[in-house]
């Protein structure tokens, strides 16, 4: 994609499982198994899917919290997955993260001023002491916290306020992209909406790119440009928010969406209850990984793995149903478009 700030190609992360008498590798967790996407400058891409499908592992791989098994991560044209720790150091500033738990993410022994000053100092961004103070004050303004709160300790703040401090800390480094890993999942409903609005405002104001990792499609719907749906280490569908919510092309996306409430009086989607649990990523099913739970699975799904391919402009999906005539594809056409029209 032109203007991409981040490009991830065929990313794999297989965690070895050690066991046996000699403690050797006995198996692997195929946590992420060939994931590709790109994010444009100023764009939000949401990565959604059930717990354990590999979303956080994708985020951590981009942050280089561990080495990847295979694939490429390219930031603004530069490959970063193969960089040594010292070359990577200045690049780290450009990718920041906000994690789920604002209670454990902040050092309880540091005042807010020092929490925000730390990245500014580490990345050598302030000209002098006065500039540092000014930068800290502006960060408080950006996340709508009073400037004098910089003298307080993390425990003096509510969960939502702490998440604002985590966002300010991420912004302190003036990044190109922020990874929000379940950043609002632990917050109360009303606070969640405030933080989502704040992130959206900041994104517009600063032209940030965002990778928004979430299991909650209802939240994603309010703030994303595009959505990538993950299942068992793979992306099964990618589309713009409007296309994905109005006309999902993959049965897994359809099932996830069926659980999202429709914000219109009297309107409701038919809930699809998937059978069984997500299979183990240690031993993923042959063929299509979703076939064991798919309501439409047929013979081919048990044997061949479907490739992620473009079915309409900007809409990608990995499902053998696309090779069937429309009459035999329950997901052909703009199913649900009427429900979404009022959004
Ligand atoms: N360090 C690790 N060692 C071994 N397995 C791991 C490790 N980290 C993650 N996994 C496994 O990889 C799979 C994907 O985990 P991941 O945390 O990326 O999923 P997720 O979609 O973000 O789910 P959640 O929202 O529950 O964190 C899971 O089966 C998890 O148990």
Threshold 0.90, pTM exceeds: yes
For ligand 1, atom 10, the nearest C-alpha belongs to: 31
The answer, yes or no, to whether residue 25 has pLDDT greater than 90, is no
- The DSSP secondary structure of 276-341, one letter per residue, reads SPPPPTTSPPSSSTTTTT-TT--HHHHHSPPPPEEEETTEEE--GGGGS-GGG-TT-S-TTHHHHT
Decide: 56 in ligand 1 pocket, CB within 6 A. Answer: yes
Between CA 251 and CA 293 the distance in angstroms is: 10
- State the maximum Cα–Cα separation within the chain, in Å, rounded to a whole number: 69
- Substitution candidate for ligand 1 out of 29, 182, 281 with most atoms within 8 A of CB: 29
Are 250 and 332 in contact, with CB atoms under 8 Å apart? no
For ligand 1, atom 3, the nearest C-alpha belongs to: 15
Inter-helix orientation angle 129-142/112-122, to 10°: 120
Decide: 215 in ligand 1 pocket, CB within 6 A. Answer: yes
Between CA 8 and CA 127 the distance in angstroms is: 35
The pLDDT score that the predictor gives to residue 297 is 95
How would you classify the pairing of strands 177-181 and 95-98?
parallel
- Which residue has tokens 């692997």? 28
The pLDDT score that the predictor gives to residue 334 is 53
Decide: 32 in ligand 1 pocket, CB within 6 A. Answer: no
Decide: 55 in ligand 1 pocket, CB within 6 A. Answer: yes
Q: Which atom of ligand 1 is nearest to 213's Cα?
A: 22
Could you count the other beta carbons within 10 Å of the beta carbon of residue 68?
A: 21
What is the ipTM, given to two decimal places?
0.97
Averaged pLDDT for residues 281-303: 96
Per-domain residue ranges for the chain? 238-343
Q: In which band, very low, low, confident or very high, does the pLDDT at 339 lie, cut at 50, 70 and 90?
A: very low
Decide: 214 in ligand 1 pocket, CB within 6 A. Answer: no
Task: Point out the least confidently predicted range of 99-108, 195-204, 235-244.
Answer: 99-108
For ligand 1, atom 17, the nearest C-alpha belongs to: 56
């Amino acid at each position: 994609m032109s203007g991409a700030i981040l490009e991830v190609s065929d990313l794999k992360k297989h965690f070895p499982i050690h066991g046996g008498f000699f403690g050797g590798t006995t198996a692997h967790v195929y946590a992420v198994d060939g994931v590709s996407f790109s994010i444009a400058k100023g764009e939000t891409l949401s990565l959604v899917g059930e717990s354990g499908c590999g979303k956080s592992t994708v985020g951590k791989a981009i942050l280089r919290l561990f080495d990847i098994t295979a694939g490429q991560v390219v930031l603004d044209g530069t490959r970063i997955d193969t960089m040594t720790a010292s070359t990577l150091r200045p690049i780290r500033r450009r990718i920041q993260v906000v994690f789920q738990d604002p209670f454990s993410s902040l050092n309880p022994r540091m005042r807010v001023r020092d929490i925000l000053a730390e990245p500014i100092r580490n990345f050598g961004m302030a000209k002098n002491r006065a500039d540092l103070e000014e930068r800290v004050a502006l960060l408080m303004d950006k996340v709508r916290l009073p400037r004098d709160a910089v003298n307080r300790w993390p425990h003096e703040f509510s969960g939502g306020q702490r998440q604002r401090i985590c966002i300010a800390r991420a912004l302190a480094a003036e990044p190109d992209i922020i990874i929000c890993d379940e950043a609002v999942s632990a917050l109360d409903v009303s606070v969640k909406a405030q933080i989502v609005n704040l992130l959206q405002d900041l994104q517009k104001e600063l032209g940030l790119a965002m990778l928004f990792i979430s299991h909650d499609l209802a939240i994603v719907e309010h703030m994303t440009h595009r959505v990538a749906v993950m299942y068992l280490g793979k992306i099964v569908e990618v589309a713009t928010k409007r296309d994905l919510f109005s006309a999902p092309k993959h049965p897994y996306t359809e099932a996830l969406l069926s659980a999202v409430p429709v914000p219109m009086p009297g309107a409701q989607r038919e809930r699809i209850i998937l059978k069984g649990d997500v299979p183990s990523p240690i031993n993923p099913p042959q063929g299509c990984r979703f076939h064991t739970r798919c309501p439409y699975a047929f013979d081919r799904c048990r044997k061949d793995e479907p490739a992620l391919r473009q079915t309409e402009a900007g809409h990608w999906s990995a499902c053998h149903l696309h090779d069937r005539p429309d009459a035999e594809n329950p997901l052909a056409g703009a199913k649900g478009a009427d429900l979404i029209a009022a959004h």
